[in-house]
Structure 1
Amino acid sequence: MNRSLSLKLYLGIVFLCFICYFWIDPLVAHQVGERTHSSIWEKISLLGSFEVSYQILVSYLVLFFILRYFFAFTLPPALVLMILYSYLTTVVSIQFLKTTLPRYRPVLLQKGFYGFDLHSSLAGSMDSFPSLHTGIFVALCIPLVFKFNRLGYILIPLILLVGLSRIFLNVHYVSDVVFSIGLSTGINTILYHFMKKDL
């Protein structure tokens, strides 16, 4: 992907986040808040949790070594490094944004709390922006999509399902999920630019 197209894509994501923040987020959160939550969304949401993401990372490493040493199928070590760098950079970036830009969770919309508030005392409910679960799952999947394009047909719908699960569980707004996907994909794009020779 060339730089001009990448820049336009990321500016489009930022613009979409603004549109979501001012018009779509309150409407969707209000609609979702009135419904009961399905356990299927909770199970899908687990794909982006820390516990499951560690298991996925370990599985990647085990699979990498099994393929490399037992089947002589060489996956480039740079792919594993890219996944690890992507994961760590995404987690650190999102945690930094969560602490510097505290945003009320959608569940508080019914109580009249919406948006960002740098001086709130509602500490446990102020970490909506951006979605860590979604960002983690993108960080684990996109390097594989860059290397094996056809995996995108499976992994991109799974990424969207994880994002939707966070919205339907009423723990994130649409803009939180969109920004998280854009941020993690951007991190992966930068990493890919520097590591593509070794992939």
Structure 2
Amino acid sequence: MKEGEAAAFRTDWLENRVDAQQLGLDITNTYGSWPYFADKMEERFKDSFEKETAKNEILTLRQGNETAQAFFERFEEKKRWAGYTNRINEEFLVSLLRRNMNKPLVDRVIYGGHIPRDYQEWKRELIRIDYIWREREKEKKGSDTGKKPYSEQKKEGEKKKDGTGYTYTGSGERMEVDKAKFCTEGRCY
């Protein structure tokens, strides 16, 4: 603890301890105890480190494949740790949302006819549009019922082609088991 913030902490610690002793205070449970020292160290250094880390992390936080709701849970946590909790930071936070969330989602909000005025409106609108888009994708894939959409379902007796020929899905269909063999022997035209 010889340089920078550590040296400043050491100096303050020693001066406060000497002052407490000169005033005749019992320092056994304060300056004389390890838990008190550890708490003061954490109070002095941990908060500023976490705050700076959160400020850096919020700059690079991206939505990726996660839902807007999940993104905002992480974003809000970083926002609190970084100290971006008041209206002064609102314009900066909106710019981070516009930059770090999925571009098609942000474009949809912007071109939707009403650009949100503040951070809370942006949050609400991004979550709403992301939810609607994901639900629509589920409908397209038919994953909400576990079945394929009707247009994609195979009908009984329909042929399915693979690399070796056709697979017949219905009963009573003729099979072309030896077609490849006959072709190589020159018996199939």
| TM superposition score category, shorter chain reference | under 0.3
User: Going by fraction, where is strand more abundant, 1 or 2?
Assistant: 2
Question: TM-score, normalization: structure 1?
Answer: 0.20
Question: TM-score, normalization: structure 2?
Answer: 0.21
User: Going by fraction, where is helix more abundant, 1 or 2?
Assistant: 1
